[in-house]
């Protein structure tokens, strides 16, 4: 049976594709205060601004391509049972060929109703004020904003509990519950963490190896390493 590799990815894996990370720009995200564009309060204050912000992020997806880190991650499926738990809302893992991807914070290419988080629909165009879900309510991006529940977290916990090896790529480990997922790994599960500016991970029982590198350089090394190690 193939060993279970679990990849926890954050914004850093998509940086080399040209998508900006959240916290590398001094608290601003594409020039906006994060809470203005990624919170229910921001939505209630200025829906048009929030829609425009995500419309631009969605449009950008059609201009970028998966990078080598995404591709290597997808190729690992040949030898391993790979599941990706990503904080990213882009579709670059899927476009690189990964088949099992859990999006903790939603997906740019999906939309839902402001009424509730059921009835998620595929959506590749802009969302404008007045665009309605089939249920009759305003459409909103299928994105988990600050202060909102993370429905996929239970699935993600189960996935991490089963992991034989965890690879963390390009996340500042600041946003919970995502950052707390590693606590659910078996204490013997090796953890590799790739980030040019890695966060410190306190109180970790697991064997940890940090690669202070870009996602693609780090994944090249880990790919070779996975061929050699026994776990
Ligand atoms: N390769 C790998 N990592 C990189 C690269 C790169 N080329 N460039 C930057 N990084 C790292 C940064 O050093 C940082 O640690 O990526 C990380 C990005 O951190 P954040 O911007 O905080 O992104 P992330 O951890 O994914 O944010 C979590 O916050 O705003 C919310 O919901 C949003 O999902 C997001 C969540």
Task: List domains and CATH numbers for the chain.
Answer: 1-19+66-105+150-231 (3.40.50.1220), 20-63+108-143 (3.30.1600.10)
CB of 212 shorter than 6 A to ligand 1: no
Torsions phi, psi of 53, nearest 5?
-60, -50
Instruction: Give the model's confidence band at 20: pLDDT under 50 very low, under 70 low, under 90 confident, else very high.
Output: confident
List residues bridging with 178 in a β-sheet: none
The average pLDDT across 24-41 equals 82
Instruction: Indicate the average pLDDT of the chain.
Output: 95
**Ligand 1 contacts CB of residue 90 (under 6 A):** no
State the burial class of residue 75 (Cβ atoms within 10 Å of its Cβ: 0-12, 13-18, 19+).
middle
Residues above pLDDT 70, as percent of the chain: 98
Q: Which residues touch 105 (CB under 8 Å, ≥6 apart)? A: 87, 88, 89, 143, 144, 150, 178
Q: For residues 177 and 155, is the Cβ–Cβ distance under 8 A? A: no
Residue 227 to residue 230: CA distance in whole angstroms: 9
Residue 117: pLDDT band with limits 50, 70, 90 = confident
Whether 105 is a known active-site residue: answer yes
Is residue 16 lining ligand 1, measured as CB closer than 6 Å? yes
Which residue out of 8, 12, 149, 196 has the highest number of ligand 1 atoms within 8 Å of its CB and is therefore the one to mutate? Answer: 12
148 annotated to a ligand binding site: no
- Cβ 11 under 6 angstroms from ligand 1: yes
Residue 135 has pLDDT above 80, yes or no: yes
DSSP 116: -
* Cα 207 from Cα 93, distance rounded (Å): 26
Q: In this model, does residue 27 exceed pLDDT 60?
A: no
Do 70 and 93 touch, CB atoms closer than 8 A?
A: yes
Which residue out of 23, 102, 105 has the highest number of ligand 1 atoms within 8 Å of its CB and is therefore the one to mutate?
23
Report which of 165, 121, 112 is spatially closest to residue 143, judged by C-alpha positions.
Answer: 112
Catalytic residue, chosen from 70, 103, 105, 133, is: 105
């Amino acid at each position: 049976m193939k060993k279970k590799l679990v990849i926890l990815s954050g914004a850093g894996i998509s940086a080399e594709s040209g998508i900006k990370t959240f916290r590398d720009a001094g608290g601003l995200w594409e020039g906006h205060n994060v809470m203005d564009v990624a919170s229910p309060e921001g939505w209630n204050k200025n829906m048009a601004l929030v829609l425009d912000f995500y419309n631009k992020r969605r449009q950008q997806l059609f201009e970028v391509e998966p990078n080598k880190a995404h591709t290597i991650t997808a190729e690992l499926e040949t030898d391993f049972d790979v599941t990706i738990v990503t904080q990213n809302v882009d579709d670059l893992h899927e476009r690189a060929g990964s088949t099992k991807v859990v999006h903790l914070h939603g997906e740019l290419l999906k939309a839902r109703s402001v009424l509730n988080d059921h009835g998620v629909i595929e959506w590749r165009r802009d969302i404008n004020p007045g665009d309605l879900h089939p249920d009759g309510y305003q459409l909103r991006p299928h994105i988990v904003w600050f202060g909102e529940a993370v429905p996929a977290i239970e699935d993600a916990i189960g996935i991490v509990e089963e992991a034989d090896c965890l690879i963390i790529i390009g996340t500042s480990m600041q946003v919970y519950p995502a950052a707390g997922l590693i606590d659910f790994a078996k204490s013997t599960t090796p953890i590799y963490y790739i980030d040019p500016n890695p966060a410190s991970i306190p109180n970790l029982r697991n064997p940890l190896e940090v690669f202070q590198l870009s996602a693609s350089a780090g994944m090249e090394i880990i790919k070779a390493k996975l061929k050699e190690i026994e776990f």
